Structure 1
């Protein structure tokens, strides 16, 4: 009986510890999303419910969480937002869907997005994003959909993007990319029109004979 009575306080302590850790994680994710809100201009007040004083962001509009109150989805497509993405998004460790298409987002794609190991869909199309496609996106082993079309991206298509084994859709059309189109890994099955309207982007690599990033500075 004595050992049983000693075990009960331990269970209570363990439960309290897990609750605190869950709260800390939720606060960290809330902080990351609030950093994103601060970086945006939001004329239609779609982020009005994003209250940083709440313990968890799971009650905020356009945010979806799992049963453990971890953010898994961010749906802000076609929301008339402008501003830039923030590196703090890497704190959303369980994020699967980052939907920010059809806005007026400027600036670059933070390389820290390559730390979102659970990301399935990265939809940033129809914005005003510039800079390069970060090679770190090749770390996203669960990525299926990568839509970056209709932006102002420059530089080559990173060779690291042949790595994600589940990648099915890549669309980088209507940018200013350069170099050559990879043909290995997932790129074996990506239609060429998903690369069109990049004036400095050349055709597919030919058995490795075409130098990578030709005509690309």
Structure 2
């Protein structure tokens, strides 16, 4: 009986070791590591991003709250290239996503609209293309939206006009088209924050949006 009990114990111990990495897994760490895998990092600024840790709160350029939930990603001016990933939308407690002045390409994932606590989205000075997702209109805590100096096209989503907290919008130096919204927070945004979009027309008249006409 003793030998059989030992075998049972060893089998249980080994199986516990096999499931341990999954038990220690962290969805925010998984999301950030998926982002890391999409990036080229010649200066090794992400070398501390170790997916085997319980959570990413000890990683450089990551800030967490007292509950070990990620609230900031600070990777501005870090010589990174690559693209954004949908998994970033799983960082449900994120307040600041700072990725400015890199060489990030590709599109803005619609999943960023899931970041309900986001205050600042800084993607300026990259090579991001595609459209500005209308899902960003779901970011009801957003104050700063800076996507200037990229290669974005299409219209300015009217959903952004419903974000009452929005104070700063800068979409200058892209290839946007259509008209500039005039309602909600856009009443206070200076026109130079829309400049150097050759296909973008002036403010829409009486709230009538013509942005969907020949605007692709």
* TM bucket normalised to smaller: 0.7 to 0.9
Show the counterpart of 1:77: 76
| CA apart distance, 1:174 | 0.1
Distance, in Å, in 2 between the alignment partners of 1:150 and 1:92 is 25
Distance 1:210 1:86, change over 3 A: closer
Q: How does 1:106-125 map onto structure 2 within 5 Å? A: 106-125=105-124
Deviations 1:164-208 (CA, angstroms, capped at 9, x unpaired): 110000000000000000000000000000000000000001103
Q: How does 1:152-167 map onto structure 2 within 5 Å? A: 152-167=151-166
Distance, in Å, in 2 between the alignment partners of 1:141 and 1:207 is 25
Preserved contact between residue 148 and residue 171 of structure 1 (Cα < 8 Å): yes
Show the counterpart of 1:135: 134
Preserved contact between residue 200 and residue 215 of structure 1 (Cα < 8 Å): no
Distance, in Å, in 2 between the alignment partners of 1:176 and 1:186 is 22
Preserved contact between residue 180 and residue 213 of structure 1 (Cα < 8 Å): no
**SS of equivalent to 1:146:** strand
**SS of equivalent to 1:74:** strand
Greater Rg, structure 1 or structure 2? Answer: 2
RMSD across aligned C-alpha pairs, in angstroms?
1.5
Distance, in Å, in 1 between the alignment partners of 2:204 and 2:120 is 26
Distance, in Å, in 2 between the alignment partners of 1:85 and 1:50 is 17
Preserved contact between residue 24 and residue 54 of structure 2 (Cα < 8 Å): no
**SS of equivalent to 1:207:** helix
Structure-2-length-normalised TM-score: 0.88
Structure-1-length-normalised TM-score: 0.87
* Runs of at least 5 residues in structure 2 that lack an aligned partner in the other structure: 1-21
| CA apart distance, 1:90 | 1.1
Q: How does 1:62-73 map onto structure 2 within 5 Å? A: 62-73=61-72
Distance 1:25 1:145, change over 3 A: farther
Q: How does 1:187-202 map onto structure 2 within 5 Å? A: 187-202=186-201
Distance, in Å, in 1 between the alignment partners of 2:179 and 2:78 is 34
Structure 1 runs (4+) deviating above 2 angstroms are 23-26, 208-215
Distance 1:198 1:123, change over 3 A: same
Distance, in Å, in 2 between the alignment partners of 1:103 and 1:24 is 35
Preserved contact between residue 183 and residue 207 of structure 2 (Cα < 8 Å): no
Preserved contact between residue 180 and residue 214 of structure 1 (Cα < 8 Å): no
| CA apart distance, 1:215 | 4.3
Distance, in Å, in 2 between the alignment partners of 1:25 and 1:189 is 47
Distance, in Å, in 1 between the alignment partners of 2:149 and 2:177 is 15
Q: How does 1:1-217 map onto structure 2 within 5 Å? A: 27-209=26-208, 211-217=210-216
